[in-house]
Amino acid sequence: MVNMLFLAIGFALLVKGADYLIDGSIAIARRFGVSELFIGLTIVAFGTSAPELAVSVKAAIDGSGIAIGNVLGSNIANVALILGATAIIQPLRISASTTKKEMPFVILSTVAAGMLLLGGKMGLNRFDGVVLLCFFAIFVDYLLSMAKSDRELDVVVEKSFHHLEGKMPFAILATVGGLAGVLFGSDLVVNSGMNLARSFGVSDTLIGVTLVAFGTSLPELVTSIAAGLKKRADLAIGNIIGSNIFNLLLVLGIAAVASPIQSDRDITQDVIFALVSIVLLLLFTGLKRRKLGRIGGMALLAFYFVYIWLSIVAG
């Protein structure tokens, strides 16, 4: 009963936290004259990647290879599960810069990280970590140029009144508080869910490839769905694209620099699925159509379930 209560509280925090996070982020974007895509790629993406960063760095210091599987599994879930589910609920329009710049950069980051991992016999040393952090520095430079471009273009925003506009302290409080609610809620859901699963005799292996991988992606899931329902596609897409870049370059980079990391199993399948997932997203949205519809969403979800099934079979 206690675990079920914590599960319910966790989901409530997730839903309400995501709502405040989106509203606060929109108000901040309007106040500083930057696009919602920029906010999604930075504040929201970094915040929702916090679970992966914490888990991966701790795992690296403890000598565990879970950091690699956590990042690859989360990135696959971000694109295939989260954007797939979001598109089914509310089709997403993709901005031109996302299909022409951000998505190709995620593909490049995935290829670079994948080559380092597979070339290093399923692991990363400190030099590999520095290489990934250098790629991340390039991404930060791109974000800075995007912010400058947004301000120069004087980003057009809706004229409808937003309850947090003109109240920057409350907007920041809503963003930080909402993010805290999302992160704490996801932790409650994962821990209580794992306890419930064990009480029903479910194996740790199955829990690991489902609840743990899904749990660290819960912040992205609820945030993207909330953004989609509010018709804030740029925030939803920016959250996922930014989170994947943060995971591959910053999370793995910091983890490897902190301590060389090594996977305890063959991750070739995971690297391939991580790369194919983002390529499929680019194909489904198209350079001209720039929209992820319900059919594309269902295809991505099916792709994710195939990945989970193959992961369970592989052990």
256-290: per-residue pLDDT in tens? 998 888 887 788 888 999 999 999 998 888 656 67
AA letter at 91: P
Give the largest CA-CA distance in the chain.
58
CA-to-CA dists, residue 258 to 62, 77, 124, 135, angstroms: 10, 26, 11, 17
**Which two tokens mark 41?**
């790629």
Place of tokens 């309850």: 163
pLDDT band at 42 (very low <50, low <70, confident <90, very high): confident
Q: Given a cut of 70, is residue 186 above it in pLDDT?
A: no
Mean local confidence (pLDDT), 250-261: 90
Note the pLDDT tens digit of each residue in 56-91. Answer: 777 677 776 667 877 888 899 999 999 999 999 888
Domains of the chain by residue range: 2-314
Closest CA to 94 of 226, 281, 304: 281
CATH number of 2-314: 1.20.1420.30
CA distance 123 to 261: 5
Mean pLDDT computed over every residue of the chain = 80
pLDDT at 165: 56
Mean local confidence (pLDDT), 176-200: 73
pLDDT at 153: 53
Q: Given a cut of 70, is residue 216 above it in pLDDT?
A: no
CB 215 within 8 A of CB 57: no
pLDDT at 222: 76
- Count of alpha carbons within 13 angstroms of residue 259, beta-carbon side: 14
pTM over 0.75: yes
**Which two tokens mark 271?**
């690297």
Task: Write phi, then psi, for 298 (nearest 5 degrees).
Answer: -65, -35
Mean local confidence (pLDDT), 112-132: 91
pLDDT at 273: 94
CA distance 195 to 223: 25
Closest CA to 217 of 16, 86, 73: 73
Q: Given a cut of 80, is residue 177 above it in pLDDT?
A: yes
